[in-house]
Structure 1
């Protein structure tokens, strides 16, 4: 007899490896326990969707903060997460190890973890990388959509005005080695293909793709090819499927690209307005423009998302897939997903395609815990 998907989801440890919510904590002075107010994840929606643990993304917009000021913004966003934990110690816990995640979950607390999105946050300084680790950061995406001084990004790899490095520089290889030594998961979402393969050669620990989908289904450079999916699996790593429609539905991606010029024109005007005042553009303002155009394109089919989970499982294996929603960092999720409260629909849809309760427990959180544990087991014990 097939298991009840509702029960399976409720009993699983559910971990999401990517939400951009910290900007709301800092810029909007918004509290995780307040109503969503246009957001995609808060305490109430997490509880409804049985989301037990969130890796809050520490993302510094390189267009708004100079390269030599990335750390200031990074520390501010980390502080935003830590303040949420400080204000709600009875319901929320900062977790830095797999065992801490399991203990907090057992105690009925919502788990807050942190991951940096974009290696520019370390300002070419391994000391800063170590400081972020000491504060609780447990993964770093080597690049965001921008190539930094030591790693090429998929986001601008075709831009001839950007200085590229043919993958990782020597210092970039040192960054990966230091992350291995610290026990910080190396996240290859966003990196250019050559950077990816350089990382595969250098890393001594399993790799994480915190929010990437399958390029075989949707031709976004941010997605992973089948060769890359297998390579992540070979490191015993995990690929967390992203919910952004442009990464999971090819028709939606094409429609989104078709309105790029109009979107960029409005974004440029917005930036000029704020920069004239000497201010960075708040993410809420730029996101409002993207949400307007996303609404014009319409919702991507929910089944497109499930197709990506299915594809990653078939190529990389059930032990190498998870969920990286990109909540609060995308203009809209696919149809059927409005907030964290809707995550049980993913479990139900995958089980309808024949996946078992054991499969779902791996996908929903077990695989991430395994990778996290192995990364830390390979680290220098003095950092644990």
Structure 2
């Protein structure tokens, strides 16, 4: 156990639970990366629970698109608003059912005070987050309804195009400057989210889209599960210029545990040490300030280091951060308080 509740920037646990053979969230199991019993053993205080609509019959990954230098996965095709909204409702309902069935052990939080209360009282806190805004119609009717339901965080894109913008491909090596910026609808979406107090997540946006968000938003810039491009030059990671902009906005980056976003060579092998995660945390903390780095695992959505295994490996990660020289106030910021600060500055 650690002395710090670990609040996490991103997981895809709802998507995993949607699988017909997935074990119950309330039963300890070796399946996946998170269930409630394992989380409670590991000082996992909660996180952003992503609602994501996958493309049908599209399971391609980097290993399917190897190039002479690395890999280049084509962007999947767009999906319809009708398909995305239906699937969003399904996964959101699953999240709310988990809350209802948890006997007070899990809470979908809608305010920073609720989040702080959960962290102080060992209640797992869940933020309703949508990854990829395909479910949102251009009149924003669905956005307002989903906000009333509890939506508090929105990623404009996943790594595919939609009416609001375009995501980066899974490409190594590559700059994140891979396509056009936000559409007029995308710029309007940023403004509407600002008015509501929905956090905008720049994760998966290409570089032009990122700078469009930066030029419009009145909230801190956030990337919930992204890493350092200077260490691992995959298109999904953030350049130093982007990291500086996030810091100057008093925002935060959640470090992703995906092995290909941690490794210098972009490789897919999972036999890497926890020092690779620490290295990305330390880079941002030392160059841009410890106030601007947190954790954003991507649990249940990616391949993570064998040394971590699942949520139960988090105490080992905290030990490695301590060994690097992070203590007390710095660990508190990295594990949860940077997220709390940004949400206090963003949510209405």
TM-score (norm 2): 0.87
Distance 1:37 1:124, change over 3 A: farther
Q: Aligned partners of 1:304 and 1:204: how far apart in 2?
A: 33
Contact 2:156–2:164, Cα closer than 8 Å, also in 1: no
Aligned to 1:268: none
Secondary structure class of the residue paired with 1:52: strand
Aligned to 1:102: 116
Q: Aligned partners of 2:93 and 2:239: how far apart in 1?
A: 36
Aligned to 2:73: none
Q: Aligned partners of 2:322 and 2:139: how far apart in 1?
A: 45
For residues 212-268 of structure 1, give each alpha carbon's deviation from its aligned partner in whole angstroms, at most 9, with x where no partner exists: 0000000111100111011011111100000000000023x24x4xxxxxxxxxxxx
Higher helix proportion (structure 1 or 2): 1
Aligned to 2:52: 59
- Give the alignment's Cα RMSD to 1 decimal: 2.0
Q: Which structure has the greater CA radius of gyration?
A: 1
Aligned to 1:322: 294
- 2:299 equivalent to 1:362: no
Selected match of 1:17 from 9, 15, 27:
9
Aligned to 2:345: 374
Selected match of 2:273 from 301, 305, 308:
301
Aligned to 2:260: 246
For residues 1-58 of structure 1, give each alpha carbon's deviation from its aligned partner in whole angstroms, at most 9, with x where no partner exists: xxxxx6xx32x23201211011233333642111234210111211121011121110
Aligned residues: 321
Aligned to 2:85: 71
Secondary structure class of the residue paired with 1:139: strand
Q: Aligned partners of 1:73 and 1:298: how far apart in 2?
A: 31
Distance 1:353 1:106, change over 3 A: closer
Contact 1:13–1:366, Cα closer than 8 Å, also in 2: no
For structure 2, the 5+ residue unaligned runs are: 58-77, 173-177
For residues 344-355 of structure 1, the aligned pairs below 5 Å read 344-355=315-326
Q: Aligned partners of 1:105 and 1:298: how far apart in 2?
A: 31
Contact 1:117–1:142, Cα closer than 8 Å, also in 2: yes
Secondary structure class of the residue paired with 1:343: helix
Distance 1:197 1:356, change over 3 A: same
- 2:43 equivalent to 1:50: yes
TM-score (norm 1): 0.79
Secondary structure class of the residue paired with 2:10: strand
Distance 1:309 1:72, change over 3 A: same
| Structure 1 outlier segments of 4+, above 4 Å | none
Note the C-alpha offset of 1:165: 7.1
Q: Aligned partners of 2:276 and 2:295: how far apart in 1?
A: 15
For residues 101-153 of structure 1, give each alpha carbon's deviation from its aligned partner in whole angstroms, at most 9, with x where no partner exists: 12233343221222111122214341111222111121111110102122121
- 2:233 equivalent to 1:219: yes
Q: Aligned partners of 1:357 and 1:108: how far apart in 2?
A: 19
Note the C-alpha offset of 1:190: 0.4
Aligned to 1:310: 282
Selected match of 2:246 from 232, 237, 252:
232
Distance 1:105 1:350, change over 3 A: closer
Q: Aligned partners of 2:31 and 2:225: how far apart in 1?
A: 21
Secondary structure class of the residue paired with 1:359: helix
Q: Aligned partners of 1:125 and 1:116: how far apart in 2?
A: 17
Aligned to 2:128: 114
Contact 1:47–1:341, Cα closer than 8 Å, also in 2: no
Distance 1:191 1:18, change over 3 A: same
Contact 1:62–1:70, Cα closer than 8 Å, also in 2: no
- 2:185 equivalent to 1:195: no
Deviates more, 1:164-173 or 1:88-97: 164-173
Contact 2:159–2:166, Cα closer than 8 Å, also in 1: no
